[in-house]
Amino acid sequence: MSFVMSQMSRIELVVFVAMLLANFCILILGYVQTKVILHLLRIPFRLLGSAILLIAVVGAYALRNLVLDVWVVFVAGISSIAFSIYRALRSRKVVRAQA
């Protein structure tokens, strides 16, 4: 064993091995999930987007049973779309200014 490993306490060694094992599991799951995600991307966006919206709304309502939470989901989605459009327009201006 190296000097660093011999100076570690038992709990430090357990944490180190657990983190190493977690990284290995994430690597394997990431490889497997990549294939699943590729199949999901073949679903038409109008169906996939509708399913995501439905799950988000049901999840928001199920958490506290308040319609206010559903409205917060819609406002967050609309603001996200607005910021995406703003960012796209702003990047076009930057590209035009550099040209």
CA distances to 21, 27, 40, 43 from 31, in Å:
16, 6, 15, 20
Co-location of 57 and 75 in the same domain:
yes
| Cα diameter, the chain | 61
Mean pLDDT score of the chain:
87
13-39 mean pLDDT: 92
Domain total for the chain?
Answer: 2
Co-location of 1 and 30 in the same domain:
yes
Identify the domain containing residue 37 by its residue range. Answer: 1-42
Tens-place pLDDT, residues 42-66:
999 899 889 999 999 999 999 999 9
Placement of tokens 């960012």 in the chain? 87
Co-location of 93 and 70 in the same domain:
yes
Half-sphere exposure of 83 (CA within 13 A, CB side): 6
Co-location of 57 and 16 in the same domain:
no
Pairwise pLDDT comparison (43 vs 92), residue with the higher score: 43
Pairwise pLDDT comparison (81 vs 98), residue with the higher score: 81
CA distances to 36, 49, 98 from 86, in Å:
32, 21, 19
Co-location of 54 and 98 in the same domain:
yes
